[in-house]
A and B are shown apart, each in its own frame.
Chain A
Amino acid sequence: MTEGFDSVDDMLRNQSSPERIRIRVIGVGGAGCNLASGLRLDGFGEVATAGVDADTKSLSECLTSQKITIGRRYTRGLGAGGDVAVGGKIMEEEIQCVRRFVEGADLLFVLAGLGGGIGSGGAPVIAQCAKDAGAVVFSFVTTPFNFESEARRSVAEDALVDLRKASNAVIPLSNDLLLQHATADESVLECFATSNRWIGRGVRSICEMLDGSGLVSVDFADLKAAFSRRSGRTLFGLGRAEGKDALGDALKDLLLCPLLHVPDASRLADTLLINVTGGPGLSMTAVNEVLKTLQERFKSKGSIVFGACIDENMPDQAEICVIGASDLEPKPPAADVAPGHAPALNSAETRYAAAVASEKGKPHDSKLQSRPKVLHAMERSQSEFNFVDQENQRGYFDKTERNVHGGEDLDVPTYLRRGIKIEI
């Protein structure tokens, strides 16, 4: 299989550094720094991490390899006080502090908790800066609980829109939904820990796929091509299990993941990224089964980026991570295409296809068809506004008008809005 390079620039880059992809992680704001500190990325070579905040005290507790204090002039080291305008302004003025960190990255993870000042105001600015510099930007963000203030929620929604414009994929994790996945009797604080864990796993999964040491690893060019278009809503789900049939159970766990139980899941999976991690006993056949099930579940016709890794430390365990993204644009307008950043509409033949084909010992014909894109794009741009609304929490009422009563959307299940934990 030959790789199709999208531009000379791409090719050169691949030649000059074929070994390592430069992955960087940046946590923005208090919650973002906390998320970045909690990442355990040992074993992935040099994944540089940084924390950016205006609050020197909280930054001092941050465990990232770099710490960047911003906004001294405005806040004298005391946080942005939840003011998103201040957060955005500081970040724009002091972007040079961050630029050096993000500029060398091929892949940048932006982590933030939306709803606060620096996180909501700063994350989109950083993402844009990195994207302009040619990096693939994945943003993992948490969104506030429904019972938090209306103001926080609306700040988060606005920030999400900005962030979507600046990132290749934004994966929002709703704290409301995560609460559903937490075990019983967990407090809200523990729920925050859950979001840290989930985002950690998501970042780790992508790093693992790219690491090159796995059973089926993913070429960075494939990942880049798959996410070259600006994405709309995303799916994110994790399943994990232990025991004899760990992989099968992990699949069951994944299918019960609250974050995946959204209507139109198939629509959201124009691009599907699947990573399976298991112990040394992980067999290609079993992995294939998982893949088949997931393909059916998400009826994905678009690109699938697939990776499978073996982790010696997980003997009887398995973990499946799914990230799906819908395309917002058929392809970026020509003017927007940065060198080396061209879309690869049909060259995204996945490693998975290759792996399956080679295993079956026959040539594969899974050429990815491009669908009637124009109509598609129209649909998308019309529904783009809906993305702002309550992330994926309205189910059947997804495309109907919001049903607002006292600042709450009544179409969102009551138990979610009230933080009632349902033990299924």
Chain B
Amino acid sequence: MNKIIAAVEIGTSKMKVLLGEIRSQQALNVVGFGSIESFGVKKGELVNFKVASEQVHLAIDLAEKSAGVQAEEVYLSVTGSHLGGSFNLGSARVSSADNVVVRNDVARAIEEAKRKELLDDRIYVHFIQNPFHLDGRPVEDPLNLQGSLLEVGYWSVDGDEKVIKDLLHVINGYGLEVGHVIASSLASGEIATSRADRKAGALVIDFGAGATDYVLYRDGCAAKTGVVPIGGDHLTNDISMGLRVDERHAESLKKEHGRAFCGEEDDDLRVWLIGNKMIGDRDVSRKAIRQVVAARVEELFQILAEELEGYLEPDHLGSGIHLTGGGSLLPGITEVASSALGLPAKRAELPTGIVEELRNPEFATVLGLLHFGLTGQSQVNPVRSKGIGRALAKIFGR
């Protein structure tokens, strides 16, 4: 009997659960799937524990029923503005007389890089190792090489302990333990890019309903991750306020008429709110919808550009920008992303092996989670989700 893994995303618009079975040679073997509307989550974070729990439990139940098996271990994604990150460098003088790097030198460099302490209420979610440098030159594995100064950098992702504990409790409430907590950005990044993309350098932007997660890969490693707390819900709310329509109608206007930029001739159209011209129906200007959306999307990419300042040299990002998440379906978004960040942008292509139903950018995070669960096993140490320790989940990028 193979182990059944559940990938769970407590999303802002939907609760998504995938069940997968670990089998050799098959990276994404999805055996069960459950997705239902989300309540009690805003901007990627829980705002109503009880309601959100019920929905998550329903989604897990759906997935288990569709698979006919029960989940044994959970991979859970985490997002929201509470996530932070920092790059810490560790170095060690090579100690042996002949200047050959030994295990102990490597261990000392790594220890120093990870030693950075956090404030009391925060915990590490990931330590992501970036390439070693020996006397300034990048090396894949420094062991047995000659040099005097060994350096290693870690991109460390940290989060609010309470927020993460709440998420774990949601899953515990179903009677399952969370094996691994993974930042949404890393999950999406893993599925939205190939190893070659990451090696060439890539920026993955997951424009979700509640928040936008991003991860920037350099030399195959995640060199920076982050969350901008702006998502598709902001577009809906902006439309709702700007056009004075209720949320439901704003959502459908966004989907039908939204575009990331405005100013083309087909803007000068008026569209019906409900479409049946019944009482309460109203015609609104399509240009207005697009103005509202364009302002928001432009701002989102401006913020991304600010946060990624210094990271966006085209030389290091050969694969360009990969957009994913439900928001990436917005027409015109690749153009805006490209001009704001100065790099070629495209919608990410999810791997072909995935069933059509799930090959949707909305599912990027949960697919990425499952991918981690099914492939990343050997390198990922087990995690103590009971009484969270100093670090939650593991080292990527090696």
Contacts and interface: CB of A to CB of B under 8 A. Distances in A.
A69 to B, nearest CB: 42
Given A396-B233, A413-B296, A424 B241 contact: no
Interface string B247-287: 10000000000000000000000000000000000001101
Contacts of A257: 244
B240 interface: yes
B240 A395 contact: yes
A413 B237 contact: yes
A403 B242 contact: no
B236 A413 contact: no
B295 A420 contact: yes
Given A420-B291, A424-B284, A414 B299 contact: yes
B238 A414 contact: yes
A395 B288 CA distance: 18
A88 to B, nearest CB: 34
A405 B303 contact: yes
A148 interface: no
Contacts of A413: 234, 237-238, 241-242, 292, 295-296
Interface string B193-234: 000000000000000000000000000000000000110011
A415 B291 contact: yes
B244 A414 contact: no
A295 B300 CA distance: 39
Contact of B237 (A180, A258, A395, A418): A395
Contact of B241 (A405, A410, A416, A418): A416
Contacts of B180: none
B69 interface: no
B300 to A, nearest CB: 9
Contacts of A415: 238, 242, 291-292, 295-296
Interface string A402-420: 0101000011011110101
Given A397-B42, A418-B295, A410 B230 contact: yes
A48 B366 CA distance: 67
B244 A255 contact: yes
B287 A414 contact: no
Give the interface size bracket for A toward B: 20 to 34
A419 to B, nearest CB: 10
A256 B284 CA distance: 12
Contacts of A256: 244
A261 B237 CA distance: 11
Nearest to B296: A414
B43 interface: yes
A387 to B, nearest CB: 18
B107 interface: no
A161 to B, nearest CB: 24
A180 B243 CA distance: 10
Interface in A369-424: 393-397, 399-400, 403, 405, 410-411, 413-416, 418, 420, 422-424
Given A413-B238, A418-B299, 13 more contacts: A180-B242, A258-B244, A395-B238, A396-B240, A410-B229, A413-B234, A413-B242, A415-B292, A415-B296, A416-B242, A422-B292, A423-B285, A424-B285
Interface of A: 180, 255-258, 261, 393-397, 399-400, 403, 405, 410-411, 413-416, 418, 420, 422-424
- 7 residue pairs, one from A and one from B, having the closest CB atoms: A413-B238, A414-B295, A396-B237, A395-B237, A261-B244, A415-B295, A414-B296
14 contacts: A258-B241, A261-B240, A396-B240, A397-B42, A400-B47, A403-B81, A411-B237, A413-B241, A413-B292, A415-B296, A420-B291, A420-B295, A422-B243, A422-B288
